[in-house]
């Protein structure tokens, strides 16, 4: 997904159109991953219009734009504003938008998931 526009894939196509296409082909769940949490929040709104379960996994990078084919993520800078509590705050919004599968991608670790699990448990 495009980190600056969660309604679009990185290649520019509409996320909603792509999701509808894969749902029509029989996808059992549609996930977005390795994008900024803010973009995932926008994407959840797009996916919530479908009749298939959905969810997302955000990353903790400032940007993945410097990543080139064949390179590795060790060239990317991590966000300093995305501690476990902040990540859980983003992810709890996804849950509120109807996401049924939530996790974490690069730079999101066990402490982030534990904070999210705690928040979800508190909600019942």
Radius of gyration of the chain (CA): 14
Q: Is 34 annotated as a binding residue?
A: yes
Report whether 124 contacts 95 (CB < 8 A): no
Q: How far apart are CA 15 and CA 30, in angstroms?
A: 11
Taking the C-alpha atoms of residue 38 and residue 79, their distance in angstroms, rounded to an integer, is 13
Alpha carbons 120 and 108: distance in angstroms, whole number:
17
35 marked ligand binding residue: no
- The neighbouring-strand residues paired with 31 are 55
Strand-pairing partners, residue 54, are 30
User: Which positions make up the binding site for Zn(2+)?
Assistant: 34, 105-106
User: Which positions make up the binding site?
Assistant: 34, 105-106
């Amino acid at each position: 997904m495009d980190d600056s526009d969660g309604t679009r894939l990185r290649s520019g196509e509409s996320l909603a159109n792509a999701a509808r296409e894969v749902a029509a082909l029989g996808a059992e769940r549609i996930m977005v991953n390795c994008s900024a949490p803010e973009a995932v929040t926008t994407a959840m709104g797009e996916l919530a219009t479908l009749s298939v379960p959905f969810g997302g996994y955000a990353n903790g990078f400032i940007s993945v734009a410097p990543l080139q084919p064949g390179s590795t993520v060790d060239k990317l800078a991590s966000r300093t504003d995305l501690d476990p509590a902040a990540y859980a705050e983003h992810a709890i919004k996804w849950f509120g938008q109807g996401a049924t599968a939530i996790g974490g991608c690069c730079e999101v670790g066990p402490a982030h998931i534990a904070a999210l699990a705690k928040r979800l448990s508190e909600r019942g």
